[in-house]
Amino acid sequence: MSAIKVAVIGGSGIYKLDAIKVKNQIKVSTPFGEPSSDVMECEVEGCSFYFLPRHGVGHKFTPSEVNYRANIFALKKLGVDTIVSISAVGSLQEEYAPKHFVLVDQFIDWTKGLRKRSFFDEGIVGHVSAANPVETSLQTRLFEACQKAGVRSHLGGSYICIEGPQFSTRAESKIYRSFGASVIGMTNVPEAFLAKEAGMAYATVAMVTDYDCWKEEHCTVQEIMDVMKSNYISAQKFIVQAIPNLVKSPISYVPENKYAVITDPALHKNSHKEILEVILN
């Protein structure tokens, strides 16, 4: 286990940003299979952090194919306690325009049950509150980093996660707006909930690419990709502000998974103990 406590999970383009230096690649085994890729040890302004490309190097996994449990477990096994999620999203509200960043604080799970979403199964039962899935102190710190980087950003909002890989129909988009959701994406569930189960601080930086399809001005995939390129430039400025701050002045938080497991310890198998030793540590 290293002294590195901060990790970024994001798109394949993040680690290629000029400000980030990749120092090492670490292969981590987990009881849940292979993570999306080797974990990259990176550095920005002399501060080390881990980076994990959510969709694999080259973006080869769909949102439903990402091994979320392996990704979170691998980072926790390495000693990470703070996760910054960088994700592309569509906007469901007029005020969240393309190229804006939204620091959400809630998630709505609208996936279809295809994803493994808990570390507690197959003979071990545990429950962790998801009332506050985002660590507020981390969210605030990331918002401040966006402000210092000159990125137009918004504090608070709800992220609705759909299965994908297709984007929404217009009828669906209007339904999601009626829920009061702020942005829409395909990846932060179950990622956020697994981080909560593992006792890690988690917060999302949602980079708006388009207005989904509820507005009449429908965007093409190419137009969305062009906005994403601009967002990556903003993400670079954000990371330069956020990572050194988090490394030099770690956030303080209380994990909520200490009393999660309710299965009688006498029934714990060796495989259970291996998992619990990491996520409850």
Q: What is the pTM of this model?
A: 0.95
Does 190 fall in a domain?
yes
Which CATH number belongs to the domain containing residue 30 in this structure?
3.40.50.1580
Chain segment 39-84, per-residue pLDDT in tens = 999 999 999 999 999 999 989 999 999 999 999 999 999 999 999 9
Does 273 fall in a domain?
no
Does 269 fall in a domain?
no
Does 79 fall in a domain?
yes
Looking at the structure of the chain, the number of domains it has is 1
Residue 112 contacts by C-beta under 8 Å, 6 or more apart in sequence? Answer: 163
13, 232 Cβ separation under 8 angstroms: yes
- CA–CA gap between residue 27 and residue 171 (Å, rounded): 43
212 counts as catalytic: yes
81 counts as catalytic: no
Does 262 fall in a domain?
no
Does 274 fall in a domain?
no
What is the extent of the structural domain holding 235?
6-253
Does 268 fall in a domain?
no
Catalytic pick among 18, 81, 212, 264: 212
Does 187 fall in a domain?
yes
Q: How far is CA 70 from CA 58, 74, 172, 264, in A?
A: 18, 6, 31, 25
Catalytic pick among 38, 210, 226, 264: 210
Residues of the chain short of pLDDT 50, as ranges, are none
Confidence at residue 19, expressed as pLDDT on a 0 to 100 scale: 81
Chain segment 124-138, per-residue pLDDT in tens = 999 999 999 999 999
